[in-house]
Structures are given as C-alpha cells and as structure tokens.
C-alpha cells in the first residue's frame, strides 16, 4: 500500500495583491508521510509563497490544500495557521527573545500538563543536543544553537508537517553543511514529514527525498534529486541545478548530429529539428591529442577537482570536470570522450536559448 499523503495541493494559485501575475500558478503535488520535500527555485519563484500557503499565513486564490486529508485552504475554507497543526522554522528563527530556551521550546505545549511538558522538553532538548543550554536566552546562543532551538520549538508539539523556510541561509558556509547533516538526522529520527524551502540545489539534493523545482510561480519539475539532476525537464531546470552547457545539433536519420559527435534521438524528433544537447562537466573526459581541434583554456582549481574550459572550433565553450591531480597546461589540444548515459535534448525553438556576445549558446537569464 502506498504511503498516506500528508499534504496535497490541487491546482493552487496565489496572485500578487497589486499585480495580475501569479506568485504561484496552478501548483499540484503530494507529500507522503515521512518524506522530505524541497521546494527549490530562485528568488521570486514562489517557493516561499507556497510554504506560507501551506502554513496558512496566506490563502490561495484558487485550488485546494489538504492536510492529512482535511481541507484547510481553498476559495471557501480557511483554517487559520494555529489550528493546522504545522510546525515552522523561520529563516530568521523568530525565537522569542524574552523567553529562555526551555520556555521557547514548551511555548507550543500549553495543551499538556506540567509533567508532560517537562518530559517533552527534556526529550526534545536531548534530541537537538541543547540540554545544557536550556536556561540561556536566545541572544546568548550562536547561530547554529539558535537554529536548533527553532527546530526543537517547532518539533515539540509533534506537528503533522514541519515547514522550514530557508533555514540555513543565516549560517556561515561551514556551519551550514554541519547543520544540514544534523537536521537531516533529526528529521530521520523523528520520522517527520517536512517541506524545505531553499534556493541552493546542493542543499535540496542533500536533504530531500523529493525536489519540486519552481520557476516564476510554475512547477517545472517534481521528482527525486537524481532524476532532476540527470534528466532535467527543461533547460531552466538543467541550468539551475548545476553547471550545464548546451551544444546545438540537428536531427538526421534517427541521430542527433552535433559538433562533438552523434547522440541518440530518443524522443524521436522529426528529421531536421534543430535541438540543443545538454552536457554536464562530469559527462566529458579529455584525451590530449595535438591534432585535435578543441583547445583547453583557463583551468579552475577547485580543490577536489579541476574544471577546464574547452573551446570548440565553432567558438562554443564546454566545461569539463577532471580529477584534482590531472593537470593539463593551457592551450592543450584535446579530444572529447563523452560518458553520457542519458541524453538530454531540448528543442532549440523554445526561445529559452540565446547567444551571448561571443556567439555561445546559453539559457536566457531571467528578468
């Protein structure tokens, strides 16, 4: 039997107040019990709006939102946030500055008696590793500790779903990775269903079971992190979730011919269709060959890898990620060896691609 859907959105639309355009447009998805969903997208993509719609801080203009099968938000029904049974971790944590750590954590537990509150307080503080700091005040804590308090406070009332609004964006990079791990393991321990809003695809990939990628209020793709990375549904997704280059090609005899070789025409596009083939830096291996026509230039050392830029004869540029110790000098002529297991092809006519000043193709930058 399939897992129970904890959250379900059906054709949810939310319009900007003074504007005709939508902050979220016709969005539908489900989140199953124990699942972590990441709402991923650039700023202004509507991901935070969606989270606030689910929390009940905003009401949808159209569509329905269900929490555990109960309708909580639609054109006619509106359950206020305090009666939805959600837990929320805010971007700035929104800890109550006048209350101690312990008092913050039990704030949402007033329906329990003293003894149960104390038990729950101990349990949760133990879980997030803050037992020794329970009498401190928020301003006496580090960023990471504040975040753990925010998490503990949200988890204490056993919410149906935990909503996290860019929870790591206020931490410095070292702390961020560590907290991502910790939060992941806490969520796993408690078996919580969670929705995480983020603009960082690495964070989404590292923490979520499912990723919903949003762009300008539309849901572009909803799938596992692996599928989203390897077979993006649109050039936008391809570009957003990692480095991607696009090589123009044309469909001929069931093959797609490009400057760097043929690709299979899996979508069975008609002959003569102009397409773009997505190449990720880890899809290309380099073989030095003085007679080859491709030139390496500008190596970027990233510690664990070397990223090379490769100038093709047509003027197109590709990126290739190589082992950290594999160092080729500038201007080395190389042959390209493709390791592609799944070809990702987009039709060129979609108007999404544009040529830059050097005549290279790239995904049109928005806004």
Nearer to other proteins (CB atom), residue 98 or residue 114: 98
Long-range CB pairs of 12-20, under 8 A, 24+ apart, other chains included: 12/50, 12/53, 12/60, 12/62, 12/63, 12/64, 12/65, 13/60, 13/61, 13/62, 13/63, 14/46, 14/49, 14/53, 14/58, 14/60, 14/61, 15/61
Q: Which is nearer to other proteins, 97 or 270 (by Cβ)?
A: 97
**Options 73, 138, 167, 225; binder of other proteins; rule CB under 8 A:** 138
- 86 three-class SS: strand
Q: CB-wise, 82 or 268, nearer to other proteins?
A: 82
- What is the distance between the alpha carbons of residues 166 and 156, in angstroms, rounded to a whole number? 20
287-326: contacts with other proteins (CB under 8 A): none
Q: What does DSSP assign to residue 78? A: B
Question: What gap in Å lies between CA 281 and CA 336, rounded to an integer?
Answer: 12
Shortest Å, Cβ 32 to other proteins: 22
How near is the Cβ of 120 to other proteins at its closest, in Å?
A: 13
| 114 binds other proteins, rule: CB under 8 A | no
Of the candidates 338, 188, 203, 332, the residue with the CA atom closest to the CA atom of residue 259? 338
User: Does residue 199 belong to the site contacting other proteins (CB under 8 A)?
Assistant: no
Buried b (16+ CB within 10 A) or exposed e, 82-118: eebbbbbbeeebebeeeebbbebbbebbeebeeeebe
DSSP-assigned letter for residue 157? T
H-helix or E-strand spanning residue 333: strand 333-338
Q: Among all chains, which residue has been given the structure tokens 């005709």?
A: 20
Q: How far apart are CA 315 and CA 320, in angstroms?
A: 16
Q: Pick the binder of other proteins from 20, 98, 189, 339 (CB under 8 A).
A: 98
Tell me which of 53, 102, 154, 214 binds other proteins, using CB under 8 A: 154
Place of tokens 């931490």: 171
Transcribe 111-134 into DSSP letters: TS-HHHHHHHHHHHHHHHT-GGGT
List the interface residues with other proteins, window 158-177 (CB under 8 A): 163
Is residue 157 at the binding interface for other proteins, with CB under 8 A as the rule? yes
Question: Can you tell me which of 34, 42, 44, 81 binds other proteins, judged by CB under 8 A?
Answer: 81
Please give the torsion angle defined by the CA atoms of residues 302, 307, 308 and 310, in that order, rounded to the nearest 10 degrees: -150
H or E stretch covering 275: strand 274-279
Q: Which stretch binds other proteins (CB under 8 A): 38-46, 79-87, 209-217, 253-261?
A: 79-87
Residue 17 binds other proteins (CB under 8 A)? yes
* Residue range at the interface with other proteins (CB under 8 A); choices 131-139, 202-210, 311-319, 327-335: 131-139
End-to-end, the C-alpha distance of the chain in Å comes to: 45
- Site for other proteins contains 86 (CB under 8 A): yes
Which residue, 89 or 312, has its beta carbon nearer to other proteins? 89
- What is the rounded distance in angstroms from the CA atom of residue 113 to the CA atom of residue 120? 11
According to the binding rule CB under 8 A, does residue 128 interact with other proteins? no
Minimum Å gap between C-beta 360 and other proteins is 39
Per-residue x/- marks for other proteins, 23-52, CB under 8 A?
A: -----------------------------x
Tell me whether residue 7 or residue 251 sits nearer to other proteins (CB atom).
7
- The least distance separating other proteins from the CB of residue 198, rounded to whole angstroms, comes to 17
Member of 5, 79, 94, 175 binding other proteins (CB under 8 A): 94
Q: Which of 19, 43, 76, 110 binds other proteins (CB under 8 A)?
A: 110
Does residue 96 bind other proteins (CB under 8 A)? yes
Q: In what order do the strands lie in the sheet with 62-67?
A: 22-32, 5-15, 62-67, 70-73
Work out how close the CB of 118 gets to other proteins at its nearest, in angstroms, rounded to a whole number: 17
Q: How many residues bind other proteins, per CB under 8 A?
A: 33
Binding site for other proteins (CB under 8 A): 17, 52, 55-58, 80-83, 85-88, 90, 92, 94-99, 107-108, 110-111, 137-139, 153-154, 157, 163
């Amino acid at each position: 039997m399939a897992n129970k859907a904890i959250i379900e959105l059906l054709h949810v639309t939310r319009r900007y107040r003074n504007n005709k355009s939508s902050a979220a447009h016709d969005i539908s998805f489900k989140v199953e019990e124990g699942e972590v969903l990441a709402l991923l997208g650039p700023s202004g993509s509507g991901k935070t709006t969606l989270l606030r719609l689910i929390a009940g801080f905003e009401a949808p203009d159209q569509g329905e939102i269900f929490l555990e099968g109960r309708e909580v938000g639609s054109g006619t029904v509106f359950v206020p946030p305090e009666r939805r049974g959600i837990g929320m971790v805010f971007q700035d944590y929104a800890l109550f500055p006048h209350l101690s750590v312990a008092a913050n954590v039990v704030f949402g537990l007033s329906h329990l008696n003293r003894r149960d509150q104390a038990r729950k307080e101990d349990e949760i503080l133990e879980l997030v590793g803050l037992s020794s700091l329970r009498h401190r005040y928020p301003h006496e804590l580090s960023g990471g500790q504040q975040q753990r308090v925010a998490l503990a406070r949200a988890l204490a009332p056993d919410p149906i779903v935990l909503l996290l609004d860019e929870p790591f964006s206020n931490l410095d990079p070292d702390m961020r990775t560590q907290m991502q791990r910790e939060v992941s393991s806490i969520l796993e321990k408690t078996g919580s269903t969670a929705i995480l809003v983020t603009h960082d695809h690495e964070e989404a990939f590292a923490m979520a079971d499912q990723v919903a990628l949003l762009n300008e209020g539309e849901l572009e793709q909803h799938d596992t992190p692996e599928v989203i990375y390897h077979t993006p549904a649109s050039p936008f997704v391809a570009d957003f979730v990692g480095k991607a280059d696009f090589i123009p090609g044309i469909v001929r005899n069931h093959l797609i011919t490009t400057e760097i070789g043929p690709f299979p025409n899996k979508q069975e596009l008609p002959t003569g269709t102009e397409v773009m083939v997505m190449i990720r830096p880890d899809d290309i291996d380099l073989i030095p060959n003085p007679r080859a026509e491709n030139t390496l230039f500008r190596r970027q050392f990233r510690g664990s890898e070397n990223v090379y830029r490769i100038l093709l004869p047509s003027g197109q540029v590709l990126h290739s990620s190589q082992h950290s110790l594999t160092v080729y000098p500038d201007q080395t002529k190389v042959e390209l060896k493709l390791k592609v297991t799944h070809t990702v092809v987009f039709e060129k006519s979609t108007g999404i691609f544009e040529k830059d000043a050097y005549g290279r193709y790239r995904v049109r930058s928005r806004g």
